[in-house]
Structure 1
Amino acid sequence: MLNTIQSLILDMDGVLWRDNSPIGDLPRIFARIRERGWKFVFATNNGTKTPEEYVQKLAGFGVDVEPRQVLTSALGTAQLLQGRIPDGAPVFVVGGTGVTAALRERGYEILSVDKAASARALVMGIDREINFDKMREAALLARRGIPFFATNPDKTFPTPRGEIPGAGAWISVIVTATGVEPVYAGKPHPFLMEMALGRLGTKKEETLVVGDRLETDIAAGQAVGCPTALVLSGVSAREQAEAWSPPPSLIVQDLEALVK
C-alpha cells in the first residue's frame, strides 16, 4: 500500500512525542520521509500552541519544518469562522492563546468576560484558566443562538501524570446546559483533514493519515476517504484497532516502523 502514497498527514502527540520526550529518532525518521519523496503536514487537535511554537518544538528535536506545514484545531476553527462570521466581528473565546492568536490573525476582536454579551460568535477550546464566569457567559451566548464553534471534542488531554479534562469535557458542560451542539473544526470531524489535503495538493487516496487515536485520527482520515495508519506509541492499543470498524489500513508500532 505504501507504494501508492505521495504524502502524509501526521498527528503530533503520541506520534512524534509524549509530552516533551521524542518518540524514536525524529531527525532520522524525517530524513527517511524526505528520501521517500513524501510531502507531509501536521494536523493536531492540540490548539494550545501556535504553528510557530510547534516549529520551535520540532527544531528542538532536530526536525526543520515551515509554519505552513502545521495545522491545529485552533487554525481550523478560525478558518471555520471565515465566511460565516463577518471580518472584525467580536468573538467570545473560552480557550488558550493558540485559539485567540489564530482568531486575531484573521482580524476578529476577542472580548473579555464583561463584554461577552456583545459577541457575534462563541468559540471554545481547551482553557487552562477556565472559571465559572467564562462558562456562564458561554452558556448564555449558546442559549441565545449565537453561532457556536469548537476546536475539538476530545474529552481528555494526555499529561505525564495521566489524562486530564480536554476541550470536549468543558464543551460538554455547555452542551448539557443548553442543548446546543457546536460546529467542530478538529478531528474526528473532516474539516481539519480537508484543510490538510488542500495544503498538500495530493489526492485523498494517495495521502496516508497517521495517528495514535482511533476515535479522532483514524476516524477523521476515514471520514475523508484517506488510507490510515495507527501507531501504537500513543493512546489506542492493537486490540482496540483490530476491533475498530472499519479497521485502520495499517497498524504499526511507531512512526519509525512505518517509514523504515
Structure 2
Amino acid sequence: MADSTELPRTRPAGSAQALSEAYDTALLDLDGVVYAGGVAVPHAVDALRVARGGGMRLAYVTNNAARTPETVAEHLTELGVPATADEVVTSAQAVARLIAERVPAGAPVLCAGGVGLRVALTERGLTPVDSAEDEPAAVVQGYGGPELPWGVLTEAALAVNRGVPWFASNTDLTIPSGRGIAPGNGAAVEVVRIATGHTKDPVVAGKPLPPMHRETILRTGARRPLVVGDRLDTDIEGAQAGDVDSLLVFTGVTDPATLLTAVPEHRPTYLAADLRGLLTPHPEVLPAGDGFRCGGWLATAGPDGRPEVRAVEGAEGGDPLDGLRALCAAVWTAGGVDDRSWAAGALGALGL
C-alpha cells in the first residue's frame, strides 16, 4: 500500500498486491467509473463482483445530488452490481449534515435541487421549502436535472441577497450524460452568484472538499480506503485532501494527456484503463539513468520538460500504461509540463 503522505507525488506508486487486497474499501465515483449515461462501463460489473467476492467493501460516492441512495442502489443492481442504499454516499447527504450542524432542528431550508437533496434534508430533521418568503434558515443548491425550474434559482437568489446562509452540494460545472457533457450544479450555482453580484460564495460540501470525505468515512467506517475516480479535480484532489490513496481510471473525463499535465494536487496514486485495475498488482516505476522505467518502457523529460518514451531494448515495450506510468514519473519529477502538444507527441509512441 502506498504512502499517501508522500506529496507532492512525483510518480505513480506500485503495489505488489492487487489493490482489492491492499485496501479494505473502494470509494467509487459513479459517472464515468461504474456507468456512463445509465449504461455500465465496460468491465465494471465483473470487476466489482470479483473485488466484492474477494472481501473488498464497495461504497459508491457521488457528487450528483439529484437521486436518493435507494434509487442509485436500484440502478446499480439493475446493471448487475448488487448494492444497498447504505453503500451509496451522495453530496446531498454531506451538505445536509453541514446545514444541520449550523441551523436549529426542524428549520426551513430553501431547497434548489432534486428529490435526492430534499430527502437528505428531511433525514437530517430539516424542512425543505420552495420560496424565499418561507423565511428559510439556509439556502441549498444541488443538481436537479434538466427539469429544474428556473423559478427555483430566482427564489434562491432572492434569499441569498437577503443574507440567508448559502450552501451547495457541489460545484461541478459539468456532468456526463448519455448525449454528452451537460451543465452541472456548479452552473446553477453560478447563476445565483451572478444574480447576487458576484459578492458571495456558498459553503460547499462535495468532492474534492473535506465534508464529502468526512461523510464517506462516517458512513462506511473504512480504515484503508482507496478512492476510485475518473476526474482529477474532484476524485483525485479529494483523495489528496483526505490523505488517502487513489486510483484513476480512463473510462470517463480524464485522458492520458490531461494526466501528464496534472498539477501536483491532481496526481493519482495508481492508474488503470478501467476497474479491472482493482484486481491486479501495479508495477513499480523505477529510476533508470536520466529517466524512469516501468515494465518495458523508458521515459525521460528534457531540460525544457519535453517528454519522450521508448521501448527498452529487448523488452519490446509491453503494456502502454506502463509507458504512461514512466512518462508521468519523468514529467512530474521534472516539475510538470503544461504543453498538451508535447504530451500528445510522447503518448503517440504508446498508441494512447
Normalised TM-score (structure 1)? 0.92
User: Conserved in 2, the CA contact under 8 Å of 1:26 and 1:62?
Assistant: no
Q: Which residue of 1 aligns with 2:123?
A: 105
Give distance in 1, aligned partners of 2:57 and 2:135: 43
Is it true that 1:96 corresponds to 2:114 in the alignment? yes
Quote how far apart the aligned CAs of 1:37 are.
2.1
Q: Which residue of 2 aligns with 1:139?
A: 157
Quote how far apart the aligned CAs of 1:30 are.
2.2
User: Conserved in 1, the CA contact under 8 Å of 2:37 and 2:179?
Assistant: no
* Moved segments of 4+, more than 6 Å: none
Quote how far apart the aligned CAs of 1:72 are.
0.7
Q: Which residue of 1 aligns with 2:190?
A: 172
Q: Which residue of 2 aligns with 1:70?
A: 88
**Which moves more between the two structures, 67-76 or 241-250?**
241-250
Q: What pairs up with 1:116-155 in 2 under 5 angstroms?
A: 116-127=133-144, 128-155=146-173
Give distance in 2, aligned partners of 1:152 and 1:32: 31
Q: What CA deviation, in whole Å up to 9, does each residue of 1:167-214 have, x standing for no partner?
A: 0011012223321111111111121112212233233xx311000111
User: Conserved in 1, the CA contact under 8 Å of 2:169 and 2:204?
Assistant: yes
Is it true that 1:47 corresponds to 2:50 in the alignment? no
Whose radius of gyration is greater, 1 or 2?
2
Give the counterpart letter for 1:7 in structure 2. Answer: T
**Which moves more between the two structures, 33-42 or 182-191?**
33-42
Give the counterpart letter for 2:244 in structure 1. Answer: C
User: Conserved in 2, the CA contact under 8 Å of 1:238 and 1:251?
Assistant: no
Give distance in 1, aligned partners of 2:59 and 2:200: 33
Of 21, 24, 36, the match for 2:39: 21
Q: Residue 157 of structure 1: SS of its match in structure 2?
A: strand
Q: What CA deviation, in whole Å up to 9, does each residue of 1:84-109 have, x standing for no partner?
A: 11111111111111111111222222
Q: What pairs up with 1:156-195 in 2 under 5 angstroms?
A: 156-178=174-196, 179-195=199-215
Of 238, 248, 253, the match for 1:235: 253
Of 182, 196, 202, the match for 2:222: 202
User: Conserved in 1, the CA contact under 8 Å of 2:92 and 2:120?
Assistant: yes
Q: What CA deviation, in whole Å up to 9, does each residue of 1:100-139 have, x standing for no partner?
A: 11112222222233x5451111010123334443222212
More helix, by proportion: 1
Of 53, 61, 83, the match for 2:101: 83
User: Conserved in 1, the CA contact under 8 Å of 2:74 and 2:83?
Assistant: no
Query: How much identity, in percent, do the aligned residues show?
Result: 36
Instruction: Tell me the number of residue pairs that the alignment of Structure 1 and Structure 2 aligns.
Output: 257
Give the counterpart letter for 1:125 in structure 2. Answer: G
Change (3 A) 1:193 1:64: same
Give the counterpart letter for 2:65 in structure 1. Answer: G
**Which moves more between the two structures, 238-247 or 70-79?**
238-247
Give distance in 2, aligned partners of 1:126 and 1:241: 27
Give distance in 1, aligned partners of 2:85 and 2:184: 24
Give the counterpart letter for 2:136 in structure 1. Answer: A
Normalised TM-score (structure 2)? 0.69
